[in-house]
Amino acid sequence: MQQLWLIPLFPLIGFLINGLFGRKLPKSAISLVAVGTVVASFLWVLKTLSAIMPLETPHIETYATWIQSGFVNIPFEFAVDRLTAVMLLVVTGIGSLIHVYATGYMAEEDGYYRFFAYLNLFMFFMLTLVLGNNYLLLFVGWEGVGLCSYLLIGFYYLKNSASTAGNKAFIVNRVGDFGFSLAMFLIVIQFKTLTFQDVMKQAAQVPVEHAVGMMTVICLLLLVGAAGKSAQVPLHVWLPDAMEGPTPVSALIHAATMVTAGVYMTCRSATIFLKAPIAMEAVAIVGLITAVLAATIGMTQWDIKKVFAYSTISQLGYMFLAAGVGAFGPAMWHVVTHAFFKALLFLGAGAVIYSMHHEQDMRHMGGLRKYIPITFGTLACAWIAIAGVPLTSGWFSKEAILGAVYHHSPIMYWIAVLTAMVTAFYVSRSMFLTFFGEFRGAAVPAAGHHGHGDEDDHGHDDHGHAVEKHDDRAHAVAHNAAHDTEPHEAPFVMWGPLAVLAALSIVGGFFDLPHFLEPALPPAEHVAHEAWLEIVGSAAGILGIVIAHIMYVAKPEMPDALTAKLGGLYRLVYDKYRVDEAYDLTIVDPLIGGSRSFLWKGLDAGLIDGMVNGAGSTARLVGGFARWIQTGNMRTYGAWVLVGAVAVLAYLGIGGGVR
């Protein structure tokens, strides 16, 4: 027993301490608890892995029977195999760096304790997701990280766009989670268990389905769940809006860890997927479409965080494409390298925003490399890694994916290569707009002002009550912002993690991760290793950089001229292909309209309120009549007795006459 339960327990303790007592603790104590518990979890992972390697078979720890009903026996148990080991190192390692960074980025926030409590809670659920040895325990972590994502996207809850984005993420993910739930029910029906080892052992004996059968349906429903969590078409619309959360959240949850849970779950279920080639093809197609659409949208965005958000969606599409063609090892390789360079891109973007006193529009930047050279140098490492420059981490994993895709479908391969060129282009575009040319920044806003009408310059609402700062950019030091109009380098607590991630972005691909994962994942059966494939893939990335340099450095007038020529096509891409508008037209507006006209006005107000109000009116009428009888006056009672007696006699007389 290596006490795996301690790995998620440490951040849970941090959540409880900061959540219950953080309001009364100094920020230094909050930081120590939040960072210390995650680092402790990372160290315990290292200690555990050193004791149980080489992990030729899973290390399993059973703590209790969770559910026992009929033939269903679901234990509460954690397990570590090589796939889990990789995810544990990524989650706790990258998570520790981002927690350190966040202590600097969020230093001026009034909701400091609340932020780190949520972030620690996320770590607990993410580690539960990774360690769980059955689909149901994985689902507990799955739902938990969704909750934390909602809380952290809407961290600035007084800002309407942030609360709306949090709701959107939560609702869209419920669609995917419904598919995942149905898949689990079918897995129980088919295999009588939810434990990974038992499910995969039985699935290996099932013949390959060349038509739609139980395995195909299970895999398609798992794909629905994975598409929701990993922001794949058509459930991708929540992730760009998630950038309303603080930048460390974007780096940890929406780039490096939570959004990769869909890829992890798909790879964990590899044996099932290999029995359902129709579902595998669906995974590949969804991934490829997502990669292309998100990459093209990324070319048109001006908000630096939105560019990297669409980049994340596109890169996740690459991972699903790899899984769909059976290259599960390369897919997980890209999960890891992407965690390095995408976390660095987001944290670097945060450092840029910090230096620019809350500006996120790249049109108001430019020439920043001379003001913030450390940030530029570290971001450049992520830049060349995601562009696929040879021998960087992103190059290794990208080429492994492209080799597998080429053997599966040359058409898919060439589309993926084109997407790689577009990726290099839009990331280079963001770098050139931000760090090259002349500085285009405007004057810095007054101290304490965050550009929102519901808060005055002193952090009070319209009624004079103090409120929490609610802008992602409130981390800038307020008393300096009014006077320091030049960009400035972030403190060491922020650029230190950038330096570590920069090193990983460069050298992190030299470890042959697919080979390491072979005991846990089926190896890719067919991977093309022709030298020309690597030349083409590398050339695509370099060509994307060159085109971006021509358009945004050598000939900066070109983008406007090209935009004018493209006209409506450019506007369509800039408007994100109007997918949100299509959802509003076909789903959101009919639901709201139907709810308002039928459920509210018709059913609630008309029928239910009508019945309740009718019963009340009847009771009021009867009570009003009884009030005239129950007066307490003896003469009135006598009169009513006389009236009653006359009525009875009249009735008897009439009755007798009839008889």
| Residues 577-596 pLDDT 10s | 999 999 999 999 998 988 88
How large a percentage of the chain has pLDDT more than 70? 92
* pLDDT > 80? residue 445: no
- Looking at per-residue pLDDT, the higher value among 626 and 359 belongs to 359
pLDDT grade for 617, boundaries at 50, 70 and 90: confident
pLDDT grade for 576, boundaries at 50, 70 and 90: very high
pLDDT grade for 182, boundaries at 50, 70 and 90: very high
Cα-Cα end-to-end distance for the chain: 97
**SS3 letters across 2-23:** CCCCHHHHHHHHHHHHHHHHHH
- Looking at per-residue pLDDT, the higher value among 168 and 487 belongs to 168
* pLDDT > 60? residue 257: yes
Average pLDDT, the chain: 90
Predicted local distance difference test score (pLDDT) of residue 298:
96
pLDDT grade for 448, boundaries at 50, 70 and 90: very low
Q: Which residue type, as a one-letter code, is found at position 331?
A: A
Distance CA 231, CA 260 (A): 9
Least confident of 29-33, 205-209, 644-648: 644-648
Predicted local distance difference test score (pLDDT) of residue 655:
62
- pLDDT tens, residue by residue, 270-328: 999 999 999 999 999 999 999 999 999 999 999 999 999 999 999 999 999 999 999 99
Distance CA 118, CA 30 (A): 12
What does each C-alpha distance from 456 to 140, 163, 174, 459, 469 come to in angstroms? 42, 20, 37, 6, 11
How large a percentage of the chain has pLDDT more than 90? 79
* pLDDT > 50? residue 458: no
pLDDT grade for 189, boundaries at 50, 70 and 90: very high
Average pLDDT on 169-194 reads: 97
Residue with the two structure tokens 């059976």: 326
Q: Is 503 exposed, middle or buried (0-12, 13-18, 19+ CB in 10 A)?
A: middle
Distance CA 416, CA 414 (A): 5
Predicted local distance difference test score (pLDDT) of residue 615:
87
CB-CB contact of 437 with 366 (8 Å): yes
* pLDDT > 80? residue 258: yes
Measured CA angle at 503 (ends 500, 507), to 5 deg = 140
Least confident of 94-98, 234-238, 308-312, 654-658: 654-658
Measured CA angle at 525 (ends 519, 529), to 5 deg = 110
Predicted local distance difference test score (pLDDT) of residue 523:
82
Residue with the two structure tokens 């076909």: 586
The answer, as to whether pTM is greater than 0.85, is yes
- pLDDT tens, residue by residue, 633-649: 787 778 878 888 898 88
Q: Which two tokens stand for residue 238?
A: 């929540």
134 φ, ψ (degrees, to nearest 5): -150, 165
Predicted local distance difference test score (pLDDT) of residue 285:
98
Distance CA 249, CA 550 (A): 34
